[in-house]
Chain A
Amino acid sequence: MNNNPIFIIAKKEYTDAIKNVLFLTLLLFLFILVSISLLVTAFNFQSQVAQYNTAIAQLKSMGQIGAILEKPQYFPLQMLRGTIEYLEIIGAIIGIILGYICIAKEKGNNTMLLLLSRPVTKTSFIGGKILGNSLLILSLLGLILIFIISSISGIGHVFFSSIELLKLFLAFLFSYIYLMFFFCLSALLSIFFKNIPNALIVSFAIWLLIVLIIPQIGDTMDPDNQIPGGFFNSMHMTKIQQNEVISKFRTYETFRNALEESSVEKHYERLVFATLGIKDIYNGKSLNVIFKDKWGDFIWISSYYVGSILLAFALFKNKRVLEKMS
């Protein structure tokens, strides 16, 4: 097994990346972002509790019962909203950079064709690259997972239950699938483009479209998002009444939803937000209930993942593409 070219290339990929300044800079940056998002969420919760206590004290001083106010509830997994959003945005950039580096270094040093002149098949070459970077992304996510668990339990003194840990683990597994899609996308483009920095810019343009712009358009078209706090809340409408109203705008909603569904990021977000209970209706629900609703999103992100890997293999085996590299 040790002499298998796939494992040798995978090991080389892993060791090269952990020595790469670019990768380490991004990793450090991601850790800073995760820390900031945890800190901001913690302070947000603290300010909600302070507001609640002030309101209760005011009501009591006026001789009224404070129980009419809903006490802010602490759910540790919901604290991870910012972290997941940063993984959506910055995690995807890390995937892109890794995909770019893994091909750019071979092209830049002219080692790709040299390597292929040795007893290394194209499948082993690209398989090794994918395996090595898969392990790297899994290690990165593992480190973030450990960091989150230790900071929430160590500093916040809140301990996760076994089911919460399982949900957290699953959320990070989905994050791996999502990040690997961007890795493959960028690697694919780096193989395809003769001028490699162009591949990086095109990857960023695609990232901008599918991670930021398309979900943003879908979000701003939502009638409920037109007023801070929600339009239907301002109208004091029940969920049934809201659905009744929205059902009259089926074409608009179908277009809006189709726009969101065209983005892999939205499927990832829906799946992870449901798994972690960040979306309130799934908070505290069993994994069975969540997956009954969200299996479609899981199929979507898995299809993007498998599709991009297969495409990377197919493109790399294409003679004309390899000729462009020489």
Chain B
Amino acid sequence: MFEQLSTVAINEIRVLVREKTFLLLLLIFFLLTLFSAYIGWSTKTTILAVYRQSVITLKQAGTANIPSNPFTGIAHLSIFRNMIIYIFLVGSLMAIVVGHRAFIRERKSGVTQLIFSKPLSRSSFILGKILGITIVLLMLIIATFLVSIISSALIPNQQLTMLEAAKLFSFYIVSFLYMFIFSMLGLIFSIILPTESLTLLVPMIFWVAVTFIIPELTTGQNPVALLNPTNIIQTTSQGPFFNFMHTVLSPFSVEQHYTTISQPLLETQKQFRSLGILEIIKQNGGSFLSLMLYFFISVFLTFYSFGRYKVTNDKIYE
């Protein structure tokens, strides 16, 4: 069984890394990772200078009580805070494409019947696919982590300590969990839907719901405001409607669980600097467990969908 499984997984990786569209998305993602460190650093340097200039302007205007610097003690890691947004925008979308391509290829070319005429069990096949996707996503996450480390080393006075590097790595592991859930979503719909365009579009509708609709209903923030890391720090839900929505929808808000854990790991606020990785996981145990739960549910649903997939009756339309 292991041989069959590894053959399917290796084939999956080989085919994916040859796909131009996947490589295009990968390139965008790496460029964003590289750019994100520079943007974070440039913004951090500028806002400190803006504060100093504001103090001069206020003093010249004769203001006696000048507010203290709100940016004092910004953590090194916070320059990567845009990565939270890029993961739930680009990372999850790329994961959907990875999952979608994993099975739609076989269905379109009509080789599923041929594959199962060989001595290959269904469970080995789907497990091989999941393993292949997992390896691709893990390779991607490790490469992104290395890009982040290198980019931070290139920026003056931005070298990370061991603890900071470990927190950054933990953030990417959490990001892997998040992306994996979306890749399974792409895979599930590529198994169950009859139209090729719908197999890509339906998981995208889910993506829009998770990224924009649920957070809007629970926080009252507009969709574009949710793309600013400063805004996702604060929750504006007030009043009975938002309180109700928050209670009802929070368990389903995968994005919220992801950002809740990611923020302390990337030290987006001063109070997070003193926390260790275990403390962060302990404090956000609910969100961490929810992400894990979604991870296992997505694997279970993939197996379930594939179990119901009819090899002989399969037809896929454009």
**Which A residues are within 8 Å of any B CB, using their own CB?**
21-22, 25-26, 29, 33, 36-37, 40, 43-44, 46-47, 50-51, 81-82, 85-86, 88-90, 93, 97, 100-101, 104-105, 108, 196-198, 200-202, 204-205, 208-209, 212-213, 215-217, 219-221, 223, 225-228, 231-232, 234-237, 241, 244-246, 248-249, 252, 269
Contact = CB atoms under 8 A, between A and B. Distances in A.
Given A209-B28, A220-B43, A225-B230, A43 B224 contact: no
B278 interface: no
A198 B21 contact: yes
B42 A216 contact: no
7 contacts: A36-B213, A43-B241, A81-B222, A82-B223, A86-B223, A198-B21, A217-B82
A92 to B, nearest CB: 12
Contacts of B196: 197
Interface of B: 20-21, 24-25, 28, 32, 35, 39, 42-43, 46-47, 49-51, 53-54, 57-58, 61, 63, 66-67, 70-71, 82, 85-86, 89-90, 93, 97, 195-198, 200-201, 204-205, 208, 212-213, 216-217, 220, 222-224, 227-231, 233-234, 238-239, 241-242, 318
A213 B32 contact: yes
Among A33, A88, A97, find the residue whose CB has the most chain B CB atoms closer than 10 A.
A33
Contact of B228 (A86, A225, A241): A225
Contacts of A104: 197, 318
Contacts of A201: 21, 24-25, 97, 200
Interface of B is mostly: helix
A108 B318 contact: yes
A29 to B, nearest CB: 6
B217 A249 contact: no
B57 A244 contact: yes
Contacts of B20: 198
Nearest to A47: B239
Among A33, A213, A215, find the residue whose CB has the most chain B CB atoms closer than 10 A.
A213
B222 A82 contact: yes
Contact of A248 (B42, B53, B318): B53
B233 A228 contact: yes
A162 B169 CA distance: 57
B33 to A, nearest CB: 12
A223 B46 contact: yes
B190 to A, nearest CB: 11
Given A22-B195, A43-B220, A202-B24, A212 B227 contact: yes
A193 to B, nearest CB: 10
Nearest to A33: B213
A208 B93 contact: yes
Contacts of A248: 53
Given A81-B222, A241-B61, A213 B89 contact: yes
A105 B90 CA distance: 28
Contact of A47 (B35, B67, B70, B241): B241
Given A205-B25, A208-B93, A245-B57, A226 B200 contact: no
A220 B230 contact: yes
A86 B226 CA distance: 13
A85 B21 CA distance: 27
B198 A21 contact: yes
A12 to B, nearest CB: 17
Given A22-B197, A245-B53, 20 more contacts: A47-B220, A82-B216, A88-B224, A101-B197, A200-B197, A200-B200, A204-B93, A204-B204, A205-B24, A215-B224, A216-B89, A216-B227, A220-B43, A220-B230, A221-B39, A228-B230, A231-B50, A231-B51, A232-B54, A249-B53
